[in-house]
Amino acid sequence: MDEITLLRRLREDRNPTDESVTRGRAALFNKINAVAPKERVTTARRRFTLAGLGAAGAFAIVGVLVATNVLGFGGWRGGADAAAAAVLERAAVAAMTFEDAPLAAGQYLRVSSQTVHVTDGQEQNGPVIAFRIKESSELYVPADRSDDWVWVREPISVVDVLTPGGEPMVERFYPSGAQAGDPELLRAPFGSFYGNTAESQWGDFASMPRDPYRLLNHIYLTTIGAGSSPDGEALVFIADTLRQGTAPADLRAALLRAAAMIPGVTITDDQATLDGQTGTAIGRVESENGLRQEIIIDPTSGRLIGEREVAVVAIPESSIAAGDVWRWSSVHTSVVDAAPAGGTPNGASDLAGCVPGERPGEMYCPPEDKK
């Protein structure tokens, strides 16, 4: 290895946190908004709103790299240990066998999900306050996916404040009780909410191979350059996709089998409790960030209970101790005969009278006097 190659390798695995990317983007928008009045063509002050979809970013497809049938590096470097592979295989079989009862016309697949994760905030020059928030939603996927999907997103609520004394600031960020606001009600064909395409929002399921080996390589190519390490990011991609609950059963099975091919995947907790349910946690420690990504599976039925990230080392700035859960998501799917009425493609932005910009996810909103 020559010196330039070695120098290049030293820079690898450095990635900004999602929070810092979001903060940077927000700072840029502040600047953009500050100049906008001088250049405005309409009377409304321009305000830029981003669709608040963390998961969507996970599906940014890396263009031409996503060649199908590529012989890549998945499957060649060992895989999960035998016990973890067995649990994943049972879950894969369960996905194929028990789940996804065919929907009759007019029926919906209802995906109820909850996510609790650590975040932080800061006011002016005040201290950074870490706290945990909960996001929950119910997604109604129609039998014919080109029909209207309905998505009810509950307002974000605060679970607890981790930094001592941070409660007043957090209350200003996320008012509790009656101030919290109403759920956001969205409705759009193909699930193309917030101006996103169905593929960018939920994942391009059609392009994902069902052969686990090819799928894993597809995932490596799709996530190349993202996350802390290729193996870690592949598992995150799998967990993200499973968590959404919208992937068809054959793809879910393939995702679970692909997870069994990722080196370093083991049973990390055989009594993992998540949202009141206990299951087997299968995961991998990401040495770069000290987090362990896990998929949690009901050992009897093979049903996916959810996924979570556990801190394996303390994160003092967020008041997180080693072994604390950094983030968890549970997902539960069922078949229902009806979905709530109402809703628009952009939910709250439509109610606020915003108009879409020229790019997906971009909205121009009237001045916010009433905030």
Written as six digits, the tokens of 234 are 């592949």
Q: CB under 8 Å to 198, separation ≥6 — which residues?
A: 145, 190, 191, 192
Whole-number minimum distance, CB 114 to another protein, in Å? 28
Smaller CB distance to another protein: residue 20 or 207?
Answer: 20
Cα of first residue to Cα of last residue in the chain, in angstroms, is 58
Smaller CB distance to another protein: residue 269 or 362?
Answer: 362
Smaller CB distance to another protein: residue 148 or 362?
Answer: 362
Q: Which of 303, 210, 215, 222 has the alpha carbon at shortest distance from 251?
A: 210
Smaller CB distance to another protein: residue 78 or 342?
Answer: 78
Whole-number minimum distance, CB 289 to another protein, in Å? 11
- Write b or e for each residue in 11-36: b if 16 or more Cβ atoms lie within 10 A of its Cβ, otherwise e: eeeebeeeeeeeeeeeeebeeeeeeb
Whole-number minimum distance, CB 13 to another protein, in Å? 7
Q: Which amino acid is at 325?
A: V
Kindly list the residues in this chain that would bind another protein in the complex (CB under 8 A). Answer: 1-16, 20-21, 23-25, 27-29, 31-32, 35-36, 39, 46, 48, 63, 225, 357-359, 362, 364
Whole-number minimum distance, CB 30 to another protein, in Å? 9
Smaller CB distance to another protein: residue 30 or 334?
Answer: 30
Q: How many other CB atoms are there within 10 angstroms of residue 98's CB atom?
A: 12
Written as six digits, the tokens of 347 are 């939910």
3-state secondary structure of 214: helix
Smaller CB distance to another protein: residue 11 or 371?
Answer: 11
Whole-number minimum distance, CB 149 to another protein, in Å? 25
243, 82 in Cβ contact below 8 A? Answer: no
Q: What is the dihedral of CA 318, 324, 328, 330, to 10 degrees?
A: -150
Whole-number minimum distance, CB 215 to another protein, in Å? 23
